[in-house]
Amino acid sequence: MIPAARPAAPGAGDLPIGTGYAPCHHGEILQGVFLDGDGRRCAGLVTLPMAGPGSHAEFVRRPGTASEALTVVPAGRTKAARAAALAVAESAERAGERPCGGELRLTGDVPVGLGMGSSTSDVIATVRAVANSYGLRLPADTVARLAVRAELACDPLMLDGRPVLFAQREGRVLEVLGPALPPLVVVGCTLGGGAPVDTLSLPVHTPADVDADQVRAFERLRTLLRRAVATGDVQLLGEVATASASLGQRVLGHPEFEALTGIARRVGAAGVQIAHSGAVAGVLFDPAAPGLRHRVRSCLRALDAHGIPATRTFATLTTTKEILNGPAHRGVDRPAGPDTPRRPARLPAL
């Protein structure tokens, strides 16, 4: 059921308000150039879902005003502003109304510049809020199309959470890999001291620039990831993620990469994953592996020893979190206190 737009806050009269939300992710498991169903090359990625941080949007629609009379709070969210204008045009046409202006307010706690999809989260929350103000819920493919127009490329945060190979520059699914990823425990961290990555400064390569051998390598990883999802094989998923992260170092060149993969091997992790457009990374564990809590603690100590800041330890499924923490041990996913220097802290908020 589509939630009805509600009256605006006090002082705004009877103007309709729409709200929207979108989650973030924890970087990529796989990213590269792949072939679509017609054999055409496409940039594509598979993201690692993460519950918790997200973007909330509230849109106050002002009927009768010019459609370009849009304001955004906080100022400077240019991608969200573009998304609002596009969503107004789309929603007004579907609702049979004239486009109008309004005010968009964004709040959230997705860290910026770490490769966690902060801009896409803002954009999707915005599109959903605008549509909601018209009493609409736009289909996921429409949200994806508007998101790509607003920011040139987007993450698949508008979808239902199933693992997909997503063409981020085209806003379409290349392949649904299965119903769900195998359960994972992820020890999150940041590379490069956690400094945001300016994605606009990274080299831009089109799919045509990638040689045939690289495309074949990405397709092999795609096949292995499909198998890992189908069989619930965490170890194989970790191998795919590590291989993808290694290929990504040709662009990102994180100096801590060898230390991170070395830590993963020593503590018996399945592998590592790294955001291909940011600094966030994760050491991946099989929750069914014996001695999981000891492995996680050893990983946190090793990260600390190498000067790699830990962020948060999380599970991709609630049941996995219970396996990790146990009924008598909570707090692996809590902020670090001053007396627990190796307990992972939450990622910084906006």
Question: CA 7, CA 15: separation in Å to the nearest integer?
Answer: 6
Percentage above 70 pLDDT, the chain: 84
One-letter amino acid of 107:
T
Q: Which residue has the higher pLDDT, 232 or 206?
A: 232
Query: Is 50 exceeded by the pLDDT of residue 336?
Result: no
Residue 318's pLDDT is: 41
Provide the token pair at 127.
């599109």
pLDDT at 254: 87
> 174-199: per-residue pLDDT in tens?
999 999 999 999 999 999 877 766 65
Type of residue numbered 211 = D
Phi, psi of 257, rounded to the nearest 5 degrees: -60, -45
Higher pLDDT, 130 or 10: 130
Token readout for 117 is 């999809």
| Number of Cβ atoms within 10 Å of the Cβ of 69 | 11
Assess whether pLDDT exceeds 70 at residue 69: yes
120/82 Cα distance (integer angstroms)? 12
Domains of the chain, first to last: 6-174 (3.30.230.10), 180-325 (3.30.70.890)
**What does pLDDT average to over the chain?**
87
> What CA–CA distance (Å, rounded) separates 299 from 69?
51
In this prediction, residue 341 has a pLDDT band, given cuts at 50, 70 and 90, of: very low
The rounded Cα 175 to chain-centroid distance in angstroms is 18
- Does residue 13 have a pLDDT over 70? no
pLDDT of residue 347: 38
pLDDT score at 1: 46
